[in-house]
Amino acid sequence: MLISVLYGTEAMTILKDTFGLENDEIINLTSWAAKLIVRQAINEELK
């Protein structure tokens, strides 16, 4: 569910308009965050 927050239009708008990020920066940031979320979920499952 949390990953959907990273890829919604609202996230794109906020990152672009509020923080002034370019499209490639937004893609890099949201991809990085998604990878962290997935990695954490896997780590928790393995415990």
Express each pLDDT in 2-43 by its tens digit. 677 777 888 899 999 999 999 999 999 999 998 999 999 999
> What pLDDT, on a 0 to 100 scale, did the predictor assign at position 13?
92
Provide the residue range defining the domain that includes 16: 2-46
Q: Residue-wise over 15-44: b if at least 16 C-beta within 10 A, else e? A: beeeeebeeeebeeebeebeeeeeeeeeee
Local structure of residue 22 (DSSP, 8 states): -
Local structure of residue 14 (DSSP, 8 states): I
**What is the tally of structural domains in the chain?**
1
> What pLDDT, on a 0 to 100 scale, did the predictor assign at position 1?
66
Local structure of residue 8 (DSSP, 8 states): S
> What pLDDT, on a 0 to 100 scale, did the predictor assign at position 6?
77
> What pLDDT, on a 0 to 100 scale, did the predictor assign at position 8?
81
